[in-house]
Amino acid sequence: MTADIYRPAAPAAPNDLDAFWMPFTANRAFRRRPRLIAAAEGMHYVTVDGRRILDGAAGLWCCNAGHGRAPIVRAIQEQAARLDYAPTFQYGHPAAFALASRLADLAPGDLNRVFFTNSGSEAADTALKIAIAYWQAKGKATKTRLIGRERGYHGVGFGGVSVGGISANRKSFGALLPGVDHLPHTYSREHQAFSRGQPEWGAHLADELERLVALHDASTIAAVMVEPMAGSTGVLPPPRGYLERLRAICDRHDILLVFDEVITGFGRLGAAFAAERFGVLPDMLTFAKGVTSGAAPMGGVIVREGVFEAFMQGPAHMIELFHGYTYSAHPLACAAGLAALDLYRDEDLFARARRLEETLADAVHALKGLPGVLDVRNIGLAAGIDLAPAKDDDGREVPGRRGLAAIERGFHDHDVLLRVGGDTIALSPPLIASESDIADLVERVRRVIIATG
Ligand SMILES: Cc1ncc(COP(=O)(O)O)c(C=O)c1O
């Protein structure tokens, strides 16, 4: 620990909070009582007034190696001094190829070819575009339909929102993409409440894909995209056998299966990717967040050999895929990524997450019985806790109000950073957490639940 980090930032707080329109934030509520973070190290954030805040969310599901890790900091600094930026359209730089090779080694099966983006949203849209272009390259240009899932989150691009299944994210933005359909989500409180790990009930919901194939015909369907574990809508582990069935149905009808591993990649479920943990190989896998442990923006898509090969036809002077970003494989992100992967390997952090899974499960499931705790779910180093919504003076439920209160109480009164969606708390601590950090985190959550009940 450096002493510096606990020194309040100067100036302690900006004097004007008006200009920044904050993403996915209740802006007016925030300005009334701001939650300002000035520094971070290890498992903790430090507020502008010098308080240590336990990080219960790895930032936003991304800082898997913890905060302020010296090798990552050094790698970014050295890379910035050596090569600030290089285009990757028709040119390359060594770190991009090095990181792609490392990711190909980490990904299961023949998921060997890596396309870089700058975020999970861009990764999702890139995967959807590759799926449609793949079938065109294979001479099956009618296969354009995209299938997502209710309660799915694939970021905020038009593709990801269209395939995603969160109504709040969709309803303000018009008709979205045409030719999209959705599987039902896999959550049932009635059948699954307080399950540990993968619920026993729900594999049959994958068969809904057969119904969509019967409705639309496989000749119109390009791909199915799902999160192997839905994270943003409250940690929904896949029912036992569900992903296997999806894979089998996709195989039967020549449909590409895409796993959105933006949250589940890089150890969250105790393996490099959820595909490895669940033993199901998708045709494409998206990643972001943990690839740099959150230290630089980066995302991407890893595709199987056969997908890549379909594009490597035609004249060699031609661009094979008319897609990419100015900052695809940005040198600073590549340096951060290489350093983060080294840390994951050298500290065996994915296995550590797997070992800590039971510790987290025991701690969160002990919250059952607290007033207003409707369900608790867990898998890997992630857990979801559904809280009963607050009620207004007339006894009507006000969804989301208790959730915001949990964020506020957590930050200001209990020194913990929580990720909350609606009235569900999602826990995803950095993978460097100790057993006592996990006990401490869940104790703070217990106090927040009581305080907001
Ligand atoms: C599964 C999944 N896909 C995509 C995204 C979007 O990533 P980003 O916010 O980096 O665009 C997220 C973000 O939480 C996610 O959880």
Atom of ligand 1 nearest to the CA of 264: 1
* DSSP structural state of residue 170: H
Tell me, rounded to whole angstroms, the distance of Cα 22 from its chain centroid: 19
Instruction: Return the residue whose CA atom lies nearest to atom 7 of ligand 1.
Output: 120
pLDDT for res 6: 52
The confidence band for 4, taking pLDDT boundaries of 50, 70 and 90, is low
- Does residue 232 have its Cβ closer than 6 Å to ligand 1? yes
Span from the CA of 431 to the centroid of ligand 1 (angstroms)? 19
pLDDT for res 13: 76
- Tokens matching residue 378: 């867990």
User: Rounded to an integer, what distance in angstroms lies between the CA atom of residue 185 and that of residue 440?
Assistant: 32
What's the whole-model pTM score? 0.97
The confidence band for 11, taking pLDDT boundaries of 50, 70 and 90, is low
Q: Which residues of 280-314 are buried (b: 16+ CB within 10 A; e: fewer)?
A: bbbbbbbbbbbbbbbbbbbbbbbbbeebbebbeee
- Per the prediction, the chain carries an average pLDDT of 96
User: Rounded to an integer, what distance in angstroms lies between the CA atom of residue 261 and that of residue 109?
Assistant: 15
The confidence band for 5, taking pLDDT boundaries of 50, 70 and 90, is low
Condensed to tens digits (0 to 9), the pLDDT of residues 227-283 reads 999 999 999 999 999 999 999 999 999 999 999 999 999 999 999 999 999 999 999
pLDDT for res 2: 46
pLDDT for res 90: 98
Which of 268, 285, 289 for mutating ligand 1's site (highest number of atoms within 8 Å of CB)? 289
Q: Which residues of 372-395 are buried (b: 16+ CB within 10 A; e: fewer)?
A: ebebbbbbbbbbbbbbebbeeeee
Rounded alpha-carbon distances, angstroms, from residue 160 to 129, 225, 227: 11, 9, 12
Give the number of other CB atoms < 10 A from CB of residue 237: 27
Rg of the chain over Cα atoms, rounded to whole angstroms, equals 22
| Phi, psi (rounded to 5 degrees) for 144 | -125, -15
Is 162's pLDDT higher than 50?
yes
Condensed to tens digits (0 to 9), the pLDDT of residues 290-327 reads 999 999 999 999 999 999 999 999 999 999 999 999 99
- Does residue 263 have its Cβ closer than 6 Å to ligand 1? yes
On whether the CB atoms of residues 278 and 239 are closer than 8 A, the answer is no
Span from the CA of 351 to the centroid of ligand 1 (angstroms)? 24
Span from the CA of 82 to the centroid of ligand 1 (angstroms)? 30
Instruction: Return the residue whose CA atom lies nearest to atom 13 of ligand 1.
Output: 155
Condensed to tens digits (0 to 9), the pLDDT of residues 140-155 reads 999 999 999 999 999 9
User: Rounded to an integer, what distance in angstroms lies between the CA atom of residue 330 and that of residue 261?
Assistant: 21
Condensed to tens digits (0 to 9), the pLDDT of residues 42-82 reads 999 999 999 999 999 999 999 999 999 999 999 999 999 99
Atom of ligand 1 nearest to the CA of 289: 10
- Does residue 231 have its Cβ closer than 6 Å to ligand 1? yes
- Does residue 426 have its Cβ closer than 6 Å to ligand 1? no
Which of 263, 284, 327, 419 for mutating ligand 1's site (highest number of atoms within 8 Å of CB)? 263
